[in-house]
Amino acid sequence: MGARTKTAKYAVGFTFGAFVLILIAFSTPYWLQNDGVLKNPKFLNLGLWEMCLNNFQDIHRFYDVTFNGCMWIFEEEFYIIHDYILPSFFITIQFFFTLAFTLLLISIILTLLFLGCSKDHDRYIHLLITNGSCLVLAGIFATFSVILFGCYGDSRDWMPDWEHNNMGWSFALACPGSVMLFPAGILFLVEARRLKYKRLNEIGNREAAYTMRQRGHTDI
């Protein structure tokens, strides 16, 4: 039971390390933030699900409404500026990073099963393959999300005072967290491959030993 080999131990370490980083990045509102140089910036900070504004008005001037404080990004009050605060690239980032986070949650459950499962179990190798595949897929989706945000997050076409907006620490945590998913998944797949060939070798040795005994009985 548990992670006996170095490969398995590193796989588990990368998995839980990535989970901590991505969980924080997923739930904190600092993917993009103002640098603090401006005296009264209209935009303060932004996460995947929360936005903080200061005396922000509809850029189209259709409504005489100002937004202050931090709110859930899908708050009903934001509906008049949804076309501005939720461009297509950001919705894509939310979707793929959420998908990556969901796969990572599944992987955490599978990793806990791996730590408590005997390596002699019939489904042990399938567990490793499934876990590794989930992690690699999560890595692909998460990496795509952070690359997309890195390309468009501080563009001049999105948040006000774009020249004073910088990538925040939530985004900084999402980057290594996304990358760590790849070695975690690959190491689980490597461990599965090692055990598969080990089992095949054991089966071959047993068959060879059985054949030798049969030949010995025949000669007698």
More confident residue, 153 or 144: 144
Closest to 33 (Cα-Cα) out of 146, 164, 136, 131: 164
More confident residue, 7 or 1: 7
Q: Calculate Rg over the CA atoms of the chain.
A: 25
Question: Please, what is the angle between helix 124-152 and helix 88-116, to 10°?
Answer: 160
Average pLDDT for 67-94? 86
Q: Which CATH number fits domain 6-192: 2.60.40.1120, 1.20.140.150, 3.30.565.10, 1.10.150.20?
A: 1.20.140.150
pTM of the model: 0.83
Number of residues that make up the chain = 220
More confident residue, 128 or 161: 128
Q: How far is CA 107 from CA 95, 101, 127, in A?
A: 18, 10, 10
Share of the chain above pLDDT 90, in %: 46
Which stretch of DSSP H or E encloses residue 165?
strand 165-167
pLDDT tens, 91-108?
Answer: 999 999 999 999 999 999
Task: Output phi, psi for 79, to 5 deg.
Answer: -60, -30
Name the residue ranges covered by the structural domains of the chain: 6-192
Name every residue whose Cβ is closer than 8 Å to that of residue 13 and which is 6 or more positions away in sequence: none
46 has a pLDDT exceeding 80 = yes
Helix (H, G, I), strand (E, B) or coil at 28: coil
* DSSP string over 57-68: E-TT-SS--EEE
57 has a pLDDT exceeding 90 = no
pLDDT-derived band at 174, boundaries 50, 70, 90: very high
